[in-house]
């Protein structure tokens, strides 16, 4: 198939490009080459065109003869403050709206959309007495006292995390999450309007070689690596028992190939995850032990708005797409301890 790949020079996009080419697809690669993502004066990879997809006139000619769009381009990270909102809305949401309009004009009706676990908000929780519950946000008083677990809104008891399926409510809690949720809503409405197929891949914590370093928008694995390389030790917030799903970038690329080749109609969302939950403290410990460095420090500090646990259910991606992650996070993180990072 002939594939238009946006964000092709990014951490994930570059690996998706390689995987698509390896699978025999004809890739038209584009990237806006934003300085905030790639650094000032960064050059695109060979065969990657510098295109801002918000520019309909530049985008339209590239969609001629395209069978499917693989949309990876996005401004990422939770956001440092409210001033980041226009950037997220412009690059993530307006750009997606332009892309969908130009796909319609070109007669292209298949989209693989890079979404994110952040659309779920605080995850899924179970009370021993009341079953599945939607806990209230954690209070500052509890956090200050070192009580990090959510409480049942009915009885006040601590609740346990559960796997989050794709039909869980979408409750974004950050600027980035709001923009990714809006992307999905635009894509779903477009699918209904034009009869197109959309596969929204909700990435969980992606890590791997050439992850960006030393930026407030980086994932926690890259932040820990940066701390180690600067001669410091990873500083783990709360008690370190926050549960996540870390998925290797090679598995994310494989999920994109599987989605692109799947027979899916309408709008469908899929968790892209390892299926092997791991705590934040375990992530830091694996990196430290692999490098022979001092163990991480659990600070007890917290950030307002942080999600306590969010762990994905991998069943739908396995059943519909045939995708199962190959890399166990504990193996992948030990490799990542020495992997090159992007400046």
The confidence score (pLDDT) of residue 246 equals 97
Nearest residue to 333 (alpha-carbon basis) of 205, 162, 163, 241: 205
The confidence score (pLDDT) of residue 215 equals 67
The phi, psi pair for 122, rounded to 5°, reads -90, 5
Contacts of 252 (CB under 8 A, 6+ apart): 12, 15, 16, 201, 203, 206, 272
How far apart CA 106 and CA 92 sit, in angstroms, is 21
The confidence score (pLDDT) of residue 40 equals 82
pLDDT in tens, 262-294: 999 999 999 999 999 999 999 999 999 999 999
Average pLDDT over the chain, rounded to an integer: 94
pLDDT in tens, 168-219: 999 998 899 999 999 999 999 999 999 999 999 999 999 999 998 876 566 8
The confidence score (pLDDT) of residue 315 equals 98
- pLDDT score of 102 more than 90: yes
What b/e sequence results for 7-36 when a residue is b if at least 16 CB atoms lie within 10 Å of its CB, and e otherwise?
bbbbbbbbbbbebbeebebebbbbbbbbee
Instruction: Please classify residue 315 by burial: count the beta carbons closer than 10 Å to its beta carbon, then call 0-12 exposed, 13-18 middle and 19+ buried.
Output: middle
Contacts of 67 (CB under 8 A, 6+ apart): 1, 2, 3, 108, 110
- Residue 109 C-beta-side C-alpha neighbours within 13 Å: 12
Copy the structure tokens of residue 67.
């069978």
- pLDDT score of 80 more than 80: no
- pLDDT score of 78 more than 70: no
For tokens 């490098």, what's the residue?
291
Q: Compute the average pLDDT of residues 54-61.
A: 98
pLDDT in tens, 316-334: 999 999 999 999 999 999 9
């Amino acid at each position: 198939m002939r594939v238009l790949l946006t964000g092709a020079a990014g951490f994930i996009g570059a690996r998706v490009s390689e995987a698509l080419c390896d699978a025999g697809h004809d890739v038209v690669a584009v990237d806006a080459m934003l300085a905030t993502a790639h650094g000032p004066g960064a050059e695109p990879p060979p065969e990657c065109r510098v295109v801002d997809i918000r520019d309909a006139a530049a985008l339209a000619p590239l969609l001629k003869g395209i069978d499917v769009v693989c949309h990876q381009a996005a401004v990422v990270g939770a956001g440092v403050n409210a001033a980041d909102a226009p950037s997220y809305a412009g690059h993530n949401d307006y750009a997606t709206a332009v892309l969908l309009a130009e796909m319609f004009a070109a007669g292209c009706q298949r989209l693989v959309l890079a979404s994110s676990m952040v659309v779920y908000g605080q995850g899924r929780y179970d009370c021993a007495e009341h079953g599945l519950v939607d806990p209230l946000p954690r209070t500052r008083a509890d956090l200050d006292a070192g009580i990090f677990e959510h409480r049942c809104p009915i009885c006040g008891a601590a609740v346990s995390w559960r796997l989050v399926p794709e039909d869980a409510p979408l409750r974004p809690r950050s600027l980035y999450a709001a923009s990714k949720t809006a992307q999905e809503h635009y894509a779903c409405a477009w699918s209904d309007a034009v009869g197109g197929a959309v596969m929204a891949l909700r990435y969980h914590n992606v890590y791997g070689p050439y992850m960006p370093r030393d930026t407030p928008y980086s994932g926690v694995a890259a932040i820990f690596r940066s701390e180690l390389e600067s001669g410091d030790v990873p500083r783990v917030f709360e008690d370190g028992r926050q549960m996540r799903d870390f998925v290797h970038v090679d598995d994310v690329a494989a999920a994109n190939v599987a989605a692109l080749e799947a027979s899916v109609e309408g709008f469908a969302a899929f968790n892209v995850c390892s299926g092997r939950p791991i705590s934040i403290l375990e992530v830091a410990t694996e990196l430290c032990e692999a490098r022979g460095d001092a163990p991480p420090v659990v600070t007890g500090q917290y950030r307002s708005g942080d999600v306590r646990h969010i762990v994905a259910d991998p069943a739908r991606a396995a059943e519909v797409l045939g995708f199962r992650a190959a890399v166990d996070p504990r193996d992948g993180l030990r490799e990542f301890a020495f992997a090159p990072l992007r400046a």
